[in-house]
Amino acid sequence: MIAYLLGIIGVAFAPSLSWAWWGVLVGLLFACLKPLRKMALLFACGGLIASLYGHWQLAHRFELPPRDVELAAEVVGLPDYRAGQYSLLLRPSHTSTLPSAVRPLRLIKASYYGNDHSFAVGDQLQLIVRLKSPQGLSNPAAFDLERYYLSQGIDARGYIRQVIDQHSAAPSLMQARQYLADWFDQIFSETGSVTLRALVLGDRSRLTSAQWDTLRVTGTAHLFVVSGLHVAIIAALGWWLGRLLQLPALMLRLQGSCLRMLPGLIALCIAGVYAWMSGWGIPVQRAWLMLAVFIAGGWLLQPLSGWQRWRMALLVIVSLHPLSVLEAGLWLSFAAVALILWLWQCSAQPGGIAGKLGFGVKLQLVLFIGMMPLMVSLFNQFSLLSVPVNLVAVPLLTLLLWFLPALLMVCMFSGDIVLLVDESIAGIWGLLSWCAEVPGLHTEVSVSFGYLVLLALAAVLLLLPMPMLQRFMIFPMLAPVLSAQNPQLDEGAFTAWIFDVGQGQAVLIETAGGALLYDTGPGYPGGGAAFPFAIQPLLDMQGIRHLDALVVSHGDSDHAGGYDALSNNLTVGRFYAGEPTPLPGAVQCSQQQWQWGGVLFRFQRAFVQRPDTLSSNNRSCVLRVENDRCSLLLTGDLDASGEYRLLSGGYRLPVTWLVAGHHGSRDSTTGALLDWLQPDKVLISAGRNNRFGHPHAAVVSRLGVRGIPWMQTAEAGAIKLVADSEHCSAEAYRRTKKRYWTAS
């Protein structure tokens, strides 16, 4: 089993599928050695299955430059509407009439901007779509959107230019989800509708960031999204219904294999219906498959143990979904089931109400301790609240899901029951919010691999059957983990991350003495910003909760759009801005300078005494960061006139790295600036296939004529600069973390 899993995992980490085939070949060669034959064949088999899966998925993916395509499609997922924008999941129909490059597409993720159309599941559309490859932003510690699209079978993304024709299809089971979603919106309050959508339909899109924070802090996120727990609860209901149906036959002393299988069959069917209603996503499929393996194991003439079923379920799931080995949900769910099996085998069977309550408390403690290393390594946090909150919430959720069908049916006829459900849901959220505000019970940590090993060892020792006093002696082992910090940079060294934020800019600079963020990434017209999913993950991973300095070069939304999201999550020391008026607490950047950890930060003045006469771009903060060996210059959105003023003001120091002004627009990064500064490398923060055509061909030509190498975030992903006492290096995250599904 381990060799088979290693074969699948090896392909998941391969930079290309050609490497994977070499791995399969090596496995087959080692199979010639008799002592290694079994393991080598299993390894090769795992690699072969994962490689075939990868080729099949990539064969459908849209890889061409953006193009407009007219096609017929069906809406197959619940539409998500926010701030004038629809997000739709489309399945192309009549594919035989489409161009050859579009014909293989299975699902398309498309946006529609405007209020002149409304969409529902099952709608048949004739439309013109601008299709793009399913590529996402590439940043350290951030969600891998390209892998998600590949595993979900989403082969292209884009936006709808024109809806030519739209009509509703004949009523079908698929539209039942849409009917329920609309009904929830009509009769329940916003909070009630959002919660029921999440619990019944698996639609998490309307949960607010504040609600997600509450769930994260209280350790209850798994309760409000359809997961293995929900499928298991519904399956338990089905099993009890099957037992009730068995009762008349048992009273008549009827026997048979069909009768024996009845509870399991009903459990599987009811759980399957619930999984389908929740959208039949990959995590729900995993949960249902695990349930199916466990139930089917009980039908065999020679019953399998719980651990044998656990291993079989894991093998079935990773064989059908090889990329699930990279998803936290897989290991969290199987780790939780393993802990439950372990506790069930090591404990006496609970009897009576007191015994069951004691077993429930013990189960939550075991899950908390056993899952702690995974939670810390995957999410950089753990919550002491999870034990008491889940001890109360899990039984309540079980009762709610069991009685929810009856409650919803009564809600059709009784407004009082609707009000009762609404008030109950509001009360649950209020209680969770109160729990989340209890200080000290939620801990965010940033730990190295060595500390994780220590934490895992402590968790194992705490779970071993030993006297309670000895178990308490293990808790001091956790102190270094809770106080762990990331390794500090050497004196005089600095690193910089130029984030891949699309058409915008954000640069994180770290030294031994502090961290500075230059710009916050773009904001979006419909609301939201790139900061939470492109920048925040790295800050969380590195334990950065406080920025020693923040610089917002100027007020344009592609540079300042993430400020609100940042201010909600981080505290800031010094705050500088080129246009400080709309930003509370900001100081005008002029000619300030300071040192952190032997690294010099200095603003260069690029405007005259009356900056209010200049354009917003030319009021950008110009920041130089340097140590004894390397230097970095950030000019914001300075155009040619701003760069000339900068040079005429006396700034002509050579620079190691220059971040191109205004994302590589034609009127920035002039020949004069390049000639005077002589950068070793130019870095361009611009979105892939952006509508402005950045970087402009004229800028690329200037760099080529002078022999200056350049990198662009759209192609390289986030760019990491390392400046220490020995070298000045730049590396592309998309290349260093290359996987076979990563766009070139």
Per-residue DSSP letters for 331-352?
Answer: HHHHHHHHHHHHHHHHSPPP-H
Q: Please check whether residue 187 lies inside any domain of the structure.
A: no
Check pLDDT > 80 for residue 453: no
440 and 474 in one domain? no
DSSP secondary structure letter of residue 531? I
The string of pLDDT tens digits covering residues 49-90 is 999 999 999 999 998 889 999 999 999 989 988 777 899 999
336 and 358 in one domain? yes
Average pLDDT over residues 416-422: 88
The string of pLDDT tens digits covering residues 601-657 is 999 876 655 566 778 888 899 999 999 999 999 999 999 999 998 888 878 889 999
Among 107, 135, 170, identify where a domain stops. Answer: 170
Q: Which residues contact 401 (CB under 8 A, 6 or more apart)?
A: 199, 230, 233, 234, 237
Q: Is the peptide bond before 695 cis (omega within 30 degrees of 0)?
A: yes
The predicted structure's pLDDT at residue 634: 96
Among 59, 75, 95, identify where a domain stops. Answer: 59
77 and 45 in one domain? no
Query: How many Cα atoms are found within 13 Å in the side-chain-facing hemisphere of 227?
Result: 19
82 and 54 in one domain? no
Task: For residue 464, give its domain range.
Answer: 450-482
C-alpha distances out from residue 481 to 140, 377, 387, 486, 581, Å: 22, 11, 20, 11, 42
The predicted structure's pLDDT at residue 369: 76
Average pLDDT over residues 209-225: 83
Give the position of tokens 């991350």.
497
Residues linked to residue 596 through DSSP beta bridges, in sequence order = 599
Check pLDDT > 60 for residue 484: no
The candidate with the shortest Cα–Cα distance to 614, out of 587, 645, 583, is: 645
The candidate with the shortest Cα–Cα distance to 459, out of 481, 427, 435, is: 481
Q: Which residues contact 648 (CB under 8 A, 6 or more apart)?
A: none
For residue 254, name the pLDDT band (cuts at 50, 70, 90). Answer: low
Mean pLDDT of the chain: 86
The candidate with the shortest Cα–Cα distance to 455, out of 377, 359, 531, 373, is: 373
426 and 282 in one domain? yes
158 and 41 in one domain? no
The predicted structure's pLDDT at residue 493: 94
Weakest-pLDDT range from 222-236, 379-393, 520-534, 713-727: 379-393
Q: Hey, what are 525's tokens?
A: 């017209």
Domain CATH for 87: 2.40.50
The predicted structure's pLDDT at residue 138: 94
Give the residue with greater pLDDT, 478 vs 116. Answer: 116
Sheet hosting strand 719-723, strand order edge to edge: 587-588, 571-577, 546-552, 514-518, 507-511, 494-498, 719-723, 728-732
Question: What percentage of the chain exceeds 70 in pLDDT?
Answer: 89
Continuous segment of H or E residues that includes residue 588: strand 587-588
The candidate with the shortest Cα–Cα distance to 339, out of 372, 315, 384, is: 372
473 and 458 in one domain? yes
Average pLDDT over residues 98-125: 88
Pairing state of beta strands 123-132 and 107-113? Answer: unpaired
Q: Please check whether residue 49 lies inside any domain of the structure.
A: yes
Give the residue with greater pLDDT, 33 vs 450. Answer: 33
The string of pLDDT tens digits covering residues 365-401 is 778 777 777 777 777 777 777 778 887 888 888 888 8
Q: Please check whether residue 177 lies inside any domain of the structure.
A: no
Distance CA 460, CA 370 (A): 7
The predicted structure's pLDDT at residue 483: 55
643 and 526 in one domain? yes
Average pLDDT over residues 168-186: 84
Check pLDDT > 90 for residue 146: yes
Among 135, 170, 205, identify where a domain stops. Answer: 170
The predicted structure's pLDDT at residue 536: 93
Q: Please check whether residue 118 lies inside any domain of the structure.
A: yes
The predicted structure's pLDDT at residue 322: 94
For residue 548, name the pLDDT band (cuts at 50, 70, 90). Answer: very high
The predicted structure's pLDDT at residue 470: 60
Residues 14, 47: contact at Cβ < 8 Å?
no
403 and 268 in one domain? yes
The string of pLDDT tens digits covering residues 671-707 is 999 999 999 999 999 998 888 999 999 999 999 999 9
Q: Please check whether residue 106 lies inside any domain of the structure.
A: yes
Continuous segment of H or E residues that includes residue 596: strand 593-596
340 and 242 in one domain? yes
The string of pLDDT tens digits covering residues 486-540 is 667 889 999 999 999 999 999 999 999 999 999 999 998 777 899 999 999 999 8
The predicted structure's pLDDT at residue 73: 92
Q: Please check whether residue 488 lies inside any domain of the structure.
A: no
The predicted structure's pLDDT at residue 551: 96
679 and 606 in one domain? yes
Give the position of tokens 């970087």.
695
In total, how many domains does the chain have? 5
Domain CATH for 511: 3.60.15.10
C-alpha distances out from residue 285 to 245, 274, 282, 306, Å: 27, 11, 5, 20
Q: Please check whether residue 184 lies inside any domain of the structure.
A: no
Q: Please check whether residue 111 lies inside any domain of the structure.
A: yes
The string of pLDDT tens digits covering residues 293-351 is 888 877 776 677 888 888 888 999 999 999 999 988 888 888 888 888 888 877 766 66
Check pLDDT > 80 for residue 744: no
292 and 243 in one domain? yes
